[in-house]
Amino acid sequence: MVVYALSYGVSILPLLAILSGLFILLVYVLKLERYIIFIPSSVIHGFTLGVAFIIALGQLNFALGMAGLAQHERFIANIQETLSNLEKANLAAVVLFSACFFFLLVWRRFSVKIPGVIIVAPSGILLGYLSQEGRIAVDLQTLFSKFGNISGKLWAVPDFNFVFNKGIFIGAMTIALVAILETLLSAKIADGMTRTKHNTRKEVLGVGAANIASGIFGGIPATAALARTALNIKSGADHKVSAAVSSVFIAVISLILLPFFKYLPLAAVAAILVFTAVQMVEKKHFLHLYKHDKSALFLSLLVAVVTVVEDPIVGILVGATIALLVFANNMSRAETEITLNKDKQLIKRINSAQLLHTRNHGDVLVYRFAGQLTYVNAQSHINNISLINGETKIVILSFRNLFFMDVDGMGSIQEMVSILEGKGKRVMLSAVNGLVAKPLKKEGWFRELGERGSVFASTQEALEKC
């Protein structure tokens, strides 16, 4: 968003808000949101941890009372800039930050329903006013010293005098994607905090409408805010009505009380945000991953590092991509049950991993597919079939527990049949259910097996013919 503001000017933001809102509504109408977010909990927890670090570390200058430092494009560079100028820290700001942060931590232990922010903010405003007016000999940076006069307006007519070009549309589409991702991520994280279940469709519709409304009123593109969501929930405001109440209070503060907030010390703001960041991270999730799945824990920490060092969206994309590759690798393992028979008697039940280490495969082997047969795991099944030794005379391929098969899976069956027949074995197919029978019946090799009497309604029937 900042990039487009720098390229086209701040006045472009309302237009981007409206366009991104329209793109989001298009996603809603076409029901594309279901394909946008397939993200495991380990990635989400890593993303949350990374965002928490960004929020907390982003307050270093305010917490230390430092101003006028060079600003860099990369977040880490700004942190390094702060750490290299620690001698410029303001002791009063450090003390105020520490006192406010400590108060919020202690208050949280004694009062869950009443947030400590309600006490910290007015107290900070009073202290900032006394400092600003010279009533106390303490120099504190306030919102006024940082941003100047703060005032609120209900309506600001957006400027639509722009030439629509490819860059603006790409920008709007990018913002729309980020808005949907951040909104659904915030909703999913909030579900974990409140033990509820969000409605994805309503979330997407809501953020689309919010962006259009924001643009019409001269505002900037909007998304769900994880920090504010976490603060709301941690303060006990976990009902959907809290969002509406929050918007009313924001309007009241913006129109009536905003001038008073200019006296709020930046150190107090930093304490509130750092406290929120700390509250966002729930260590029980990471302890659970440590106990049960260390690879998922590593993925969480990797996402957190990428989120901080590079960008939150890059962190999510890296995490989701790695998780998808891990999932595909796990799915590529051929799930099957193999029964070995000799002289019409069952001698052993094994799985695919045990097939290589089993010497006696019997004279009749039943190979039962399970789950799905796709391009992901087809080669694993072919490899298993290739391991069947020369002692076996008949191989029965059972489809009873197969519920999905793609074109690569269908091609792999033909290859398995060819491999087995090439070794001089008779191949039978059994329990070919309706889900896979329709495409198979179109194949010449399948019809040929049927004409030879090698396709059976059940595995038991096939065994009786052996």
The total of structural domains in the chain comes to: 2
Least confident segment among 61-70, 72-81, 147-156, 399-408: 147-156
Q: Does 51 or 105 have the greater pLDDT score? A: 105
pLDDT tens, position by position, 343-368:
889 999 998 888 888 888 999 999 99
User: 312 and 337: one domain?
Assistant: no
Pick from 171-185, 223-237, 304-318 the range whose average pLDDT is largest: 304-318
Domain of 379, CATH number, reads 3.30.750.24
User: 312 and 428: one domain?
Assistant: no
User: 258 and 364: one domain?
Assistant: no
Q: What is residue 257's predicted lDDT score, i.e. its pLDDT?
A: 77
- Return the percentage of the chain with pLDDT > 90, whole number: 35
pLDDT tens, position by position, 68-81:
788 777 888 888 88
Q: What is residue 271's predicted lDDT score, i.e. its pLDDT?
A: 93
Average predicted confidence (pLDDT) for the chain:
85
Span 264-277, mean pLDDT? Answer: 91
| pTM summary value | 0.73
Question: Is the pLDDT confidence value at 320 over 50?
Answer: yes
Q: Does 164 or 460 have the greater pLDDT score? A: 460
> Among the three residues 300, 327, 354, which one is the final residue of a domain in this structure?
327
Q: Does 258 or 103 have the greater pLDDT score? A: 103
Q: What is residue 123's predicted lDDT score, i.e. its pLDDT?
A: 92
User: 36 and 184: one domain?
Assistant: yes
User: 357 and 280: one domain?
Assistant: no
Least confident segment among 111-115, 209-213, 388-392: 111-115
> Among the three residues 307, 327, 347, which one is the final residue of a domain in this structure?
327
Q: What is residue 76's predicted lDDT score, i.e. its pLDDT?
A: 86
User: 288 and 260: one domain?
Assistant: yes
User: 24 and 102: one domain?
Assistant: yes
User: 304 and 343: one domain?
Assistant: no
Range of the domain at 370: 333-464
Measured over the CA atoms of residue 301, residue 304, residue 310 and residue 313, the dihedral's sign is positive
User: 256 and 345: one domain?
Assistant: no
- Scanning the structure block, which residue is given the tokens 């409304």? 213
pLDDT tens, position by position, 242-255:
878 888 887 887 77
User: 306 and 338: one domain?
Assistant: no
Among the listed residues 207, 213, 261, the one whose alpha carbon sits nearest the alpha carbon of residue 229: 207
User: 344 and 251: one domain?
Assistant: no
User: 22 and 146: one domain?
Assistant: yes
Question: Is the pLDDT confidence value at 227 over 70?
Answer: no
